[in-house]
Amino acid sequence: MGRIVEYHKHSYQGKSFNGHLLSIQKRLAKVITRDSPYLTVVFVGETHHTIDERRRAALYGWRPASPTLLTVVERGMGTPGFGSNLVVEPMSTLSPLDSKRDDNVVGQIVSALQQKSYNGLFILFGEDHEHKFKPRMETSPSIPAMIWHFYPSFHDHLEANNQTFLPYDPRGAGFVLIGMVRPGEQYNMDLMQLAEGVMPKATQMTLNVMSPFKDAKTESKFALFARPPELGGIQVGLRAMADASVHVSWNNLKNIKILDITSTVRKVPPELQDDDQRIELIEGFWSEWAT
Protein backbone atom coordinates (compact mmCIF):
# COMPACT_ATOMS: atom_id res chain seq x y z
CA MET A 1 0.00 0.00 0.00
CA GLY A 2 1.39 3.41 -0.99
CA ARG A 3 1.20 5.15 2.36
CA ILE A 4 3.14 8.41 2.76
CA VAL A 5 5.69 8.01 5.55
CA GLU A 6 7.04 11.57 5.19
CA TYR A 7 5.45 14.64 3.62
CA HIS A 8 7.38 17.84 2.88
CA LYS A 9 5.84 20.97 1.39
CA HIS A 10 8.74 23.23 0.44
CA SER A 11 8.69 27.00 0.79
CA TYR A 12 10.91 29.35 -1.19
CA GLN A 13 11.79 31.86 1.54
CA GLY A 14 12.95 34.58 -0.82
CA LYS A 15 15.00 32.28 -3.06
CA SER A 16 15.83 33.56 -6.51
CA PHE A 17 14.51 31.70 -9.54
CA ASN A 18 17.91 30.08 -10.13
CA GLY A 19 18.31 29.26 -6.44
CA HIS A 20 14.91 27.62 -6.45
CA LEU A 21 15.82 25.56 -9.53
CA LEU A 22 19.03 24.44 -7.85
CA SER A 23 17.15 23.22 -4.78
CA ILE A 24 14.93 20.97 -6.91
CA GLN A 25 17.89 19.73 -8.93
CA LYS A 26 19.70 18.78 -5.72
CA ARG A 27 16.61 16.92 -4.54
CA LEU A 28 16.45 14.92 -7.76
CA ALA A 29 20.16 14.14 -7.55
CA LYS A 30 19.65 12.73 -4.06
CA VAL A 31 16.75 10.60 -5.28
CA ILE A 32 18.87 8.73 -7.81
CA THR A 33 22.08 8.47 -5.79
CA ARG A 34 20.84 7.46 -2.32
CA ASP A 35 19.45 4.09 -1.34
CA SER A 36 16.11 4.27 0.43
CA PRO A 37 13.52 1.66 1.38
CA TYR A 38 10.86 4.12 0.20
CA LEU A 39 9.80 5.51 -3.17
CA THR A 40 10.59 9.24 -3.27
CA VAL A 41 8.05 11.44 -5.05
CA VAL A 42 9.08 14.95 -6.19
CA PHE A 43 5.90 16.72 -7.30
CA VAL A 44 6.58 20.10 -8.95
CA GLY A 45 3.24 21.89 -9.19
CA GLU A 46 2.70 24.72 -11.62
CA THR A 47 0.30 27.44 -12.60
CA HIS A 48 0.09 27.21 -16.38
CA HIS A 49 1.18 29.99 -18.76
CA THR A 50 3.39 31.66 -16.16
CA ILE A 51 7.04 31.63 -15.11
CA ASP A 52 6.36 28.05 -13.99
CA GLU A 53 6.63 27.02 -17.64
CA ARG A 54 10.20 28.34 -17.68
CA ARG A 55 10.87 26.35 -14.54
CA ARG A 56 9.35 23.22 -16.12
CA ALA A 57 11.41 23.60 -19.30
CA ALA A 58 14.64 24.04 -17.35
CA LEU A 59 13.95 21.09 -15.07
CA TYR A 60 12.78 18.79 -17.85
CA GLY A 61 15.81 19.59 -19.97
CA TRP A 62 18.21 19.10 -17.06
CA ARG A 63 16.62 16.09 -15.35
CA PRO A 64 19.03 13.21 -14.77
CA ALA A 65 18.96 10.55 -17.46
CA SER A 66 18.75 7.84 -14.85
CA PRO A 67 16.89 4.53 -15.25
CA THR A 68 15.93 4.82 -11.56
CA LEU A 69 13.85 7.98 -12.08
CA LEU A 70 10.36 7.88 -13.63
CA THR A 71 9.22 11.25 -15.03
CA VAL A 72 5.49 12.00 -15.23
CA VAL A 73 4.21 14.95 -17.31
CA GLU A 74 0.81 16.47 -18.00
CA ARG A 75 -1.00 16.34 -21.33
CA GLY A 76 -0.19 19.05 -23.83
CA MET A 77 3.30 19.71 -22.51
CA GLY A 78 4.73 18.91 -25.92
CA THR A 79 7.18 16.27 -24.81
CA PRO A 80 9.28 15.54 -27.93
CA GLY A 81 9.65 11.81 -27.30
CA PHE A 82 7.94 9.24 -25.18
CA GLY A 83 10.80 6.79 -24.73
CA SER A 84 11.50 4.87 -21.55
CA ASN A 85 11.26 5.99 -17.92
CA LEU A 86 8.56 8.47 -18.92
CA VAL A 87 4.79 8.68 -18.38
CA VAL A 88 2.91 11.19 -20.53
CA GLU A 89 -0.76 11.86 -19.89
CA PRO A 90 -2.50 11.22 -23.23
CA MET A 91 -4.46 13.97 -24.93
CA SER A 92 -8.21 13.55 -24.46
CA THR A 93 -11.54 15.38 -24.50
CA LEU A 94 -11.76 15.20 -20.69
CA SER A 95 -12.23 18.59 -19.04
CA PRO A 96 -9.39 20.00 -16.89
CA LEU A 97 -11.35 19.21 -13.71
CA ASP A 98 -12.51 15.72 -14.68
CA SER A 99 -11.38 13.23 -12.01
CA LYS A 100 -10.89 10.59 -14.69
CA ARG A 101 -7.73 12.41 -15.70
CA ASP A 102 -6.22 11.76 -12.26
CA ASP A 103 -7.41 8.14 -12.32
CA ASN A 104 -5.81 7.63 -15.73
CA VAL A 105 -2.43 9.13 -14.82
CA VAL A 106 -2.17 7.23 -11.53
CA GLY A 107 -3.07 4.10 -13.50
CA GLN A 108 -0.18 4.83 -15.88
CA ILE A 109 2.17 5.26 -12.91
CA VAL A 110 1.02 1.96 -11.39
CA SER A 111 1.57 0.21 -14.73
CA ALA A 112 5.09 1.65 -15.03
CA LEU A 113 5.99 0.59 -11.48
CA GLN A 114 4.69 -2.92 -12.12
CA GLN A 115 7.02 -3.25 -15.07
CA LYS A 116 10.11 -1.85 -13.35
CA SER A 117 11.24 -0.61 -9.94
CA TYR A 118 12.27 3.04 -9.53
CA ASN A 119 13.93 5.03 -6.76
CA GLY A 120 11.79 8.05 -7.45
CA LEU A 121 8.96 9.72 -9.33
CA PHE A 122 9.47 13.20 -10.78
CA ILE A 123 6.01 14.63 -11.46
CA LEU A 124 5.57 17.85 -13.49
CA PHE A 125 1.88 18.70 -13.29
CA GLY A 126 -0.66 21.38 -12.53
CA GLU A 127 -0.49 22.34 -8.86
CA ASP A 128 -4.16 21.49 -8.26
CA HIS A 129 -3.53 17.81 -9.07
CA GLU A 130 -1.18 17.22 -6.15
CA HIS A 131 -3.93 16.70 -3.59
CA LYS A 132 -5.78 14.49 -6.11
CA PHE A 133 -2.83 12.20 -6.85
CA LYS A 134 -1.92 11.61 -3.20
CA PRO A 135 -5.03 9.69 -2.04
CA ARG A 136 -5.14 7.65 -5.26
CA MET A 137 -1.51 6.63 -4.90
CA GLU A 138 -1.81 5.97 -1.15
CA THR A 139 -4.62 3.48 -1.68
CA SER A 140 -2.98 1.62 -4.56
CA PRO A 141 -1.68 -1.82 -3.53
CA SER A 142 0.93 -1.65 -6.33
CA ILE A 143 2.66 1.52 -5.09
CA PRO A 144 5.20 1.17 -2.25
CA ALA A 145 5.44 3.47 0.77
CA MET A 146 6.51 6.96 -0.22
CA ILE A 147 8.45 10.02 0.90
CA TRP A 148 6.62 12.91 -0.75
CA HIS A 149 8.17 16.31 -1.62
CA PHE A 150 5.83 19.00 -2.95
CA TYR A 151 7.17 22.16 -4.62
CA PRO A 152 4.27 24.59 -5.20
CA SER A 153 3.97 27.09 -8.02
CA PHE A 154 6.84 29.59 -8.02
CA HIS A 155 4.54 32.08 -9.77
CA ASP A 156 2.03 31.88 -6.93
CA HIS A 157 4.86 32.35 -4.43
CA LEU A 158 5.93 35.57 -6.17
CA GLU A 159 2.38 36.89 -6.30
CA ALA A 160 1.79 36.13 -2.62
CA ASN A 161 4.87 38.17 -1.75
CA ASN A 162 4.04 41.00 -4.17
CA GLN A 163 7.13 40.18 -6.20
CA THR A 164 7.50 40.16 -9.95
CA PHE A 165 9.78 38.17 -12.21
CA LEU A 166 11.03 40.60 -14.82
CA PRO A 167 11.23 39.30 -18.37
CA TYR A 168 14.72 38.67 -19.64
CA ASP A 169 15.89 41.28 -22.15
CA PRO A 170 18.86 39.91 -24.11
CA ARG A 171 19.65 43.19 -25.86
CA GLY A 172 22.06 44.19 -23.13
CA ALA A 173 24.20 41.19 -24.07
CA GLY A 174 24.44 42.25 -27.72
CA PHE A 175 21.51 40.24 -29.06
CA VAL A 176 19.26 41.58 -31.82
CA LEU A 177 15.67 40.52 -32.44
CA ILE A 178 15.67 38.58 -35.71
CA GLY A 179 12.09 37.38 -36.10
CA MET A 180 9.48 34.94 -34.88
CA VAL A 181 9.69 31.14 -34.88
CA ARG A 182 7.08 29.82 -37.29
CA PRO A 183 4.36 28.13 -35.20
CA GLY A 184 3.83 24.41 -35.51
CA GLU A 185 7.38 23.66 -36.46
CA GLN A 186 8.60 22.71 -32.99
CA TYR A 187 7.14 21.45 -29.75
CA ASN A 188 6.71 24.17 -27.15
CA MET A 189 8.80 22.13 -24.72
CA ASP A 190 11.76 22.26 -27.10
CA LEU A 191 11.50 26.03 -27.39
CA MET A 192 11.09 26.54 -23.66
CA GLN A 193 14.21 24.48 -23.07
CA LEU A 194 16.08 26.62 -25.58
CA ALA A 195 14.84 29.70 -23.71
CA GLU A 196 16.66 28.38 -20.65
CA GLY A 197 19.85 27.80 -22.62
CA VAL A 198 19.29 24.04 -22.63
CA MET A 199 19.42 21.96 -25.80
CA PRO A 200 16.63 19.40 -26.15
CA LYS A 201 17.69 15.80 -26.50
CA ALA A 202 18.43 16.24 -30.20
CA THR A 203 22.03 17.23 -30.83
CA GLN A 204 20.85 19.75 -33.43
CA MET A 205 17.52 21.22 -34.39
CA THR A 206 16.32 23.52 -37.17
CA LEU A 207 13.97 26.44 -36.56
CA ASN A 208 12.03 28.12 -39.34
CA VAL A 209 12.07 31.81 -38.47
CA MET A 210 9.78 34.43 -40.02
CA SER A 211 10.69 38.03 -40.58
CA PRO A 212 9.45 40.42 -37.88
CA PHE A 213 7.09 41.61 -40.61
CA LYS A 214 4.86 39.39 -42.70
CA ASP A 215 2.26 40.01 -45.42
CA ALA A 216 -0.24 37.80 -43.59
CA LYS A 217 -0.75 38.18 -39.88
CA THR A 218 0.65 34.97 -38.42
CA GLU A 219 0.34 34.12 -34.75
CA SER A 220 3.64 33.38 -33.03
CA LYS A 221 4.82 33.58 -29.44
CA PHE A 222 8.50 32.64 -29.65
CA ALA A 223 10.98 35.28 -30.80
CA LEU A 224 14.50 34.51 -31.92
CA PHE A 225 17.40 36.79 -30.99
CA ALA A 226 20.94 36.39 -32.27
CA ARG A 227 24.35 38.03 -31.99
CA PRO A 228 27.52 37.74 -34.07
CA PRO A 229 28.78 35.67 -35.72
CA GLU A 230 25.41 33.96 -36.28
CA LEU A 231 23.55 37.27 -36.58
CA GLY A 232 24.66 38.29 -40.07
CA GLY A 233 23.93 35.02 -41.81
CA ILE A 234 20.42 34.78 -40.41
CA GLN A 235 19.60 38.36 -41.37
CA VAL A 236 20.70 37.71 -44.96
CA GLY A 237 18.16 34.90 -45.20
CA LEU A 238 15.32 37.16 -44.08
CA ARG A 239 15.99 40.28 -46.13
CA ALA A 240 13.88 38.98 -49.01
CA MET A 241 10.90 38.40 -46.67
CA ALA A 242 11.49 34.66 -46.77
CA ASP A 243 11.84 32.31 -43.83
CA ALA A 244 15.32 31.67 -42.54
CA SER A 245 16.35 28.16 -41.49
CA VAL A 246 18.29 28.52 -38.26
CA HIS A 247 20.32 25.50 -37.20
CA VAL A 248 20.75 25.41 -33.43
CA SER A 249 23.33 23.21 -31.70
CA TRP A 250 25.50 23.29 -28.61
CA ASN A 251 28.15 25.00 -30.73
CA ASN A 252 26.12 28.13 -31.48
CA LEU A 253 23.57 28.12 -28.65
CA LYS A 254 25.51 30.82 -26.79
CA ASN A 255 24.80 33.23 -29.67
CA ILE A 256 21.11 32.39 -30.15
CA LYS A 257 18.29 33.13 -27.73
CA ILE A 258 14.65 32.04 -27.87
CA LEU A 259 12.09 33.99 -25.84
CA ASP A 260 8.38 33.50 -25.32
CA ILE A 261 7.14 37.05 -25.84
CA THR A 262 3.48 36.08 -26.42
CA SER A 263 3.22 38.31 -29.44
CA THR A 264 2.26 38.33 -33.10
CA VAL A 265 4.34 38.99 -36.19
CA ARG A 266 4.00 42.60 -37.29
CA LYS A 267 2.26 43.22 -40.59
CA VAL A 268 3.88 44.97 -43.55
CA PRO A 269 1.84 48.02 -44.64
CA PRO A 270 0.10 47.12 -47.94
CA GLU A 271 1.44 50.21 -49.70
CA LEU A 272 5.01 48.95 -49.34
CA GLN A 273 5.31 46.91 -52.50
CA ASP A 274 8.91 47.66 -53.37
CA ASP A 275 11.44 45.15 -52.09
CA ASP A 276 14.00 47.86 -51.29
CA GLN A 277 11.48 49.71 -49.12
CA ARG A 278 10.67 46.52 -47.32
CA ILE A 279 14.33 45.87 -46.63
CA GLU A 280 14.69 49.37 -45.16
CA LEU A 281 11.66 48.78 -42.97
CA ILE A 282 13.10 45.55 -41.60
CA GLU A 283 16.52 47.14 -41.07
CA GLY A 284 14.87 49.94 -39.11
CA PHE A 285 13.03 47.43 -36.98
CA TRP A 286 16.26 45.58 -36.23
CA SER A 287 18.13 48.77 -35.36
CA GLU A 288 15.40 49.78 -32.87
CA TRP A 289 15.88 46.51 -31.03
CA ALA A 290 19.66 46.79 -31.08
CA THR A 291 19.69 49.70 -28.61
* CA pair distance 114, 103, nearest whole angstrom: 16
Nearest residue to 176 via CA among 219, 212, 207: 212
Q: Collapse the DSSP code of 42 into the 3-class scheme (helix H, G, I; strand E, B; otherwise coil) and give the result.
A: strand
* Dihedral-angle region of residue 102 (phi above 0 means left; psi in -120 to 50 means alpha; beta otherwise): alpha
* CA pair distance 13, 202, nearest whole angstrom: 36
| Residue 173 near residue 256, CB atoms below 8 Å | no
* CA pair distance 86, 118, nearest whole angstrom: 11
pLDDT tens string, the chain, 291 residues long: the values are 679 999 999 988 777 777 888 888 889 988 988 888 999 999 999 887 777 777 887 787 666 667 899 999 888 765 545 557 888 888 888 888 899 999 999 999 999 999 999 999 999 999 999 999 999 999 999 999 999 999 998 877 777 766 554 555 566 677 777 778 887 655 666 777 777 666 766 667 888 888 766 555 667 778 888 888 887 777 766 665 567 888 888 788 778 888 777 655 555 455 444 555 555 655 565 555 544
Q: Which domains does the chain have, with CATH numbers?
A: 4-160 (3.90.190), 170-289 (no CATH)
Length of the chain: 291
Q: Collapse the DSSP code of 23 into the 3-class scheme (helix H, G, I; strand E, B; otherwise coil) and give the result.
A: helix
* CA pair distance 138, 46, nearest whole angstrom: 22
Share of the chain above pLDDT 90, in %: 25
15 burial via Cβ count (<10 Å: 0-12, 13-18, 19+): middle
The model's pTM is: 0.63
